[in-house]
Amino acid sequence: MARKFLYVVAAIIVLSIAATFAYRLFGNQLLRWSTVPSESFRAQAAPPAELYKRRIMWLARPDIPDNPALWTPAGYAPGQPDTGAAVFFIHPTSYINKAHWNAPIDDPETNGRAELFLRGQASAFNAAGDIWAPRYRQATFGAFLTSAQDAERALDLAYRDVDAAFTAFLAQVSPKRPLILAGHSQGALHLSRLLTDRVAKDPALRRRIVAAYVVGWPVSMTADLPAMGLPACERADQTGCILSWQSFGEPADPSLILDVFDQTSGYTGAPRKDSAMLCTNPLTGTPGAAAPATANLGTLYPAADLKSATIAAGRVPARCEGRGILTIGEGPAVGPYVLPGNNYHVYDYSLFWANIRADAERRLKAFR
C-alpha cells in the first residue's frame, strides 16, 4: 500500500510538472480553447430603456436592500444618500461559461459573482455618491480572447443593454447631480463606448461628469481618446476627465491583451497597432507616473471564502511603463486569480482601493 501511494504521488508530481510546462508553452492557446464558445452567436432583441425602470434589473441602486455596493472594510463607511454624485458602475465579466456567447440575465451564479465584484470594486465609490450598477447580458470571458465576428456580436448585444440602462439611469437621477462613470474590464469597454456615443455628443451631459474610470481596458491615446469626449486626467484634482490603467506584476507579459488590441481600429477610425495606451497611476491620480508602496493608502485582501476583506496600506507600488501598462513589482498575494503574463487584471481596483476612494472624493470636491 505504501509503495502504491508513492507511485500515485510520483504520478501527480510528473503530471503537475507536465501541466506547468505545457502552460508555459501553450498558456494563451489553452486559455482560448477552454473559454471561447464553439456555438454560433444567437441574436437577441435589444431591451427598451423602460425595462430598466424596474428595480430587478439592477444589481445595485439606492433603493435596493442589502446593496452589495455599500460594503466597506473595517474603518470605512458609505457616504450619506443623496448628498454626493450619482455613480453609474458597469461590472466586469462574471460569466465564464463557454456554453453561450452572452450570459442569461437571470443566471444566479453569474449575478452572484457580479455582486462580489461590486463589493470589491464599486464600493470604492460609495463615499462619493449613490451607486447604480445594472444587470446586463454580458459577453462571456472567451469573447475577449478571439477576433471572431461572433465575439463582436456578443459585445454589441451586451452594450445595447448597458446603453438602455444608462438612459434609464439618467432619467431617474436629478439633472443637477454630478455624475461619476466607472467600470472594469468588459464594463470599461462598454463605458468607453458610452463616452464615445453619448457623452462626446452631449455637451450638457459632458459638463456633469466628475470623472470616468475606464479601468482594466486599453485606451489608445491616439486612436481612442480623441473620440471619447473627455481628456485624460493630467492632475489629481482635475474634473471632466478619464482615468485608465491595467495592472501587471513583474516580469510583465501583456501580449495576450496586445495581440488582440493591435488587430483593431479605435473610435477615431485610426489603427490601434503600436499606439500608446492611457496609463493613470491610481496612487497619484496622474498619467505616466511612478509611486512607491508608501503612497498606497490601502489594498484589499479578500478572505478565502470571499465574504469579507481586510485592508492594508503601504504594500503595493505602481509605475506606468512601456506602451502604458501599470507594473506593481513582484505583485502581492491578494488571491489566486492572476492571469497569464502576471496580469493582475482581476485586482485592478482592490490593489488601490483606498486611493481610488480618495481620488473620487477629491475630484468631486473640486467639481463642486
Residue 161, amino acid: D
Encode pLDDT of 169-224 as tens digits: 999 999 999 999 999 999 999 999 999 999 999 999 999 999 999 999 999 999 99
Q: For residue range 160-172, list pLDDT tens digits in order.
A: 999 999 999 999 9
Q: What is the DSSP letter of 144?
A: G
DSSP state of 229: S
Rounded Cα gap, residues 343 and 157, in angstroms = 27
| Averaged pLDDT score across all residues of the chain | 87
What's the order of all strands across the beta sheet hosting 85-90? 58-60, 129-134, 85-90, 179-184, 209-215, 241-243
CA distance 166 to 170: 6
Closest CA to 143 of 187, 106, 98: 98
Whole-angstrom Cα distance, residue 33 to residue 178?
44
Strand partners, 255: none
What does the DSSP assignment read for 157-209? HHHHHHHHHHHHHHHHS-TTS-EEEEEETHHHHHHHHHIIIIITT-HHHHTTE
What does DSSP assign to residue 257?
H
The pLDDT of 71-97, averaged and rounded, is 92
Q: Where are the domains of the chain?
A: 30-367
Distance between CA atoms of 238 and 150, rounded to whole angstroms? 39
User: What are the tens digits of pLDDT across the range 106-133?
Assistant: 899 999 999 999 999 999 999 999 999 9
Confidence band for 326, pLDDT divided at 50, 70 and 90: very high
Question: What distances in angstroms separate CA 69 from CA 165, 177, 196, 363, one per listed residue?
Answer: 17, 19, 26, 20
